[in-house]
Structure 1
């Protein structure tokens, strides 16, 4: 059963291809302000995979001209969170529990984060009232290098009534 976010993404798929990305970026950036502020672009969003691009622009650069560490973690967190968001039942709230990032190389240019979720994890989201799971996310730069190694643990809890 699809949740509200997955239904919205499905509706956007009926729009012309040139408009889909802009509409999804606008919707996500309006809902999660920091995504819009940083200028993240959603390249793909399905129930199994999320791919986000962060361009190396002045507003996200550090003092050495690469994407800032915080912006790097943002693109990884966003991709992993969106793949959880596409699958979590509407009566549960996702919460980032831990974010482990090792900065192993200097990045070159833009960053792309790809997060995936396994069917067993999706089933767990639906069957367990509250819990957590590690979402796989790979961040690469324009040279195809992985400048960071990430591990994102997402938890979920029942939504508060009221």
Structure 2
């Protein structure tokens, strides 16, 4: 799957509106993420950048980007990065997430997900930490997440 998702991204983003189309395809596969209307900016093994526009539907009662919208952005960017990064014989699932709200989240948010260490093929499952930094339009970090992915061998049934 990982090679096919990366291949799809590389092919489709060459087209006009390709980043939008890829983002829609991901949200079709995982519909909940459509609630934040993400736009994939960069995707390669070990790195994924996703943006969400400053819209009322992602705001909280004080007009900043809602904490859960930021968590969704972090989980989406980390998950798609994991999908194109881990060895083909492995699968992933989020096991836990810790977050820090560093500053007011105002404006378009840009999340960059990257692993702490390379993912390796293993006969046993293991934890694989991914860090996501979310910045505002000025480049100021407003949110940080550490997502523990559980990597395990794909079943051979």
- TM (norm. structure 1) is 0.84
1:12 aligns with: 12
1:51-83 CA-partner distances (Å, limit 9, x unpaired): 000112111110001111000111111111111
1:121 aligns with: 118
Unaligned runs of 5+ in 2: none
1:143 aligns with: 138
Question: Does residue 46 of structure 2 align to residue 48 of structure 1?
Answer: yes
C-alpha displacement at 1:154, in angstroms?
0.9
Tell me the distance in 2 between the aligned counterparts of 1:112 and 1:38.
12
1:18-44 CA-partner distances (Å, limit 9, x unpaired): 232022112101001122222011011
Contact 1:55 1:110 in 2 (8 A): yes
Describe how 1:93-132 pairs up with structure 2 within 5 A: 93-117=91-115, 120-122=117-119, 124=120, 126-132=121-127
Number of equivalenced pairs: 157
Unaligned runs of 5+ in 1: none
Question: Does residue 79 of structure 2 align to residue 84 of structure 1?
Answer: no
Contact 1:107 1:145 in 2 (8 A): no
Instruction: Please tell me the root mean square deviation across aligned C-alpha atoms, in Å.
Output: 2.3
Tell me the distance in 1 between the aligned counterparts of 2:114 and 2:150.
16
Contact 2:123 2:152 in 1 (8 A): no
1:30 aligns with: 28
- TM (norm. structure 2) is 0.87
Q: Secondary structure of the residue that 1:67 maps to in structure 2?
A: coil
